[in-house]
Structure formats: structure tokens, C-alpha cells
Amino acid sequence: MNDEGAKVEIPCIGEMFPHLDVLTTMGRMTLPDAFEGKWFLLFSHPGDFTPVCTTEFASFAINHERFRRLNCELIGLSVDQVYSHIKWIEWMEEQLKVEISYPIIADPNGDIARTLGAIHPPNSNSTIRAVYFVDPDAVLQSVLYYPRGVGRNMEELLRMLRALLVVKQHKVATPANWPSNEFIGDEVLLYPPKDVKGAKERRGKQGCLDWWFCSKKL
């Protein structure tokens, strides 16, 4: 619900990412067009000049090239003014010796954050920690929410990106803790067949514990 009590529709996994004109620390941009042909990870944070967010943004900067090697760009978001973002970037460069090489969206009215579902009551005056993975076709592939006091883990975000790439390219699924699952290691899972004939064809095949549980090496 928004302030007037009207229901706000937010993008869901599998839907097109909404068209957004945004003001960032690197100028005006249009999303998702600015990252055409690439994945991008949009991440919101509660506020500039706060300890957890500072460590997160510095870590995103340190790992930016690792995301880029997977054809993924980064872009931040909060309800702070662009002037605050710029000063915060300067502080991180001076104090932490890291260059913030990705844009940060300024959304002082919260319109963009509300469109994305990144403002949750009762914290209605600031963005939550949210992560949106968008593929090169501008389709929203994953949304993650974090509580205010828990910083994000770069290794997990990179792992999820790799898994999304594998799932999209090979039309398979990844198991728990992939690529280090306790039972099938780095293998991936095949989707179960949708009819009796397919189930019969799967029985007894290499990599199948049952017709509905089959794995393979990529």
C-alpha cells in the first residue's frame, strides 16, 4: 500500500524490469536500457554514511571487476540526495582507499524505490537492503531482501549470479550449496519429466536416483 492506501504493484521474478528514468552519481540514466546486452545487479541500501552500508558499498567496489567478468554491471539506490551520494563516495575513496566505479541512484522522493518494492513499512522513510538481478533481456530473475542489521555477502551474490547464468544457458537447475552440494558436488539437476512416457525413459539412466531426481555434469 502507498500513503493513500492504494495497492502498489511491484515487479515479480520472470517479469520485465520496469522502465525507469533515474538520476545517478554518473548522470541521468534510463533503466534497463543503460545495461542493454548485460546482466545488472541493482542494490538498495538504507542510507549513506551508515556503517553497514559503507562496508557493503566498498565491498561491491572491490568486487566490481568480478561481476563484470560475468557480464554483470552494478548500480546502487537509496532515498538520499545525489549530493549526499557524491560526498559519501569521496569519503570512501579517502578513508577506505576504494574507488566507487558504479553509479548510485538518488531517489529522495522514494518513487523509484516504491516502484521496485524497496520501501517496507514501518521503515517507510528509507530503502531496505534489496538486491535485484536483471538479465540481458531485461527480465527480473531474482529478488533478495535483507534486514537492516545484516550486511550482504559478495561471495553469495556472485555464486547466485553464476547459478543464474547456468540455469538460463543450459535450462537446468542448481542444487543446494551449488557448486559444492553434499550429494552431487558440482553437478546440476535436470527438471523432472512432465508425462508418464518421460518418467519411464528416465528410469535407470546414468545420474538418475529416480525418474524425478537426475543430475549431470555440464
The residues annotated as belonging to the active site are 53
Distance between CA 11 and CA 151 in Å, rounded? Answer: 24
DSSP string, 99-153: ---S-EEE-TT-HHHHHHT---TT-TTS--EEEEEE-TTSBEEEEEEE-TT----
- Residue 175: CB partners within 8 Å, gap ≥ 6? 181, 183, 184, 187, 188, 189, 215
Give the count of beta carbons closer than 10 Å to the beta carbon of residue 65. Answer: 9
Reply yes or no: is the peptide bond before residue 193 cis, omega within 30 of 0: no
Q: HSE of 52 in the Cβ direction (CA atoms, 13 Å)? A: 14
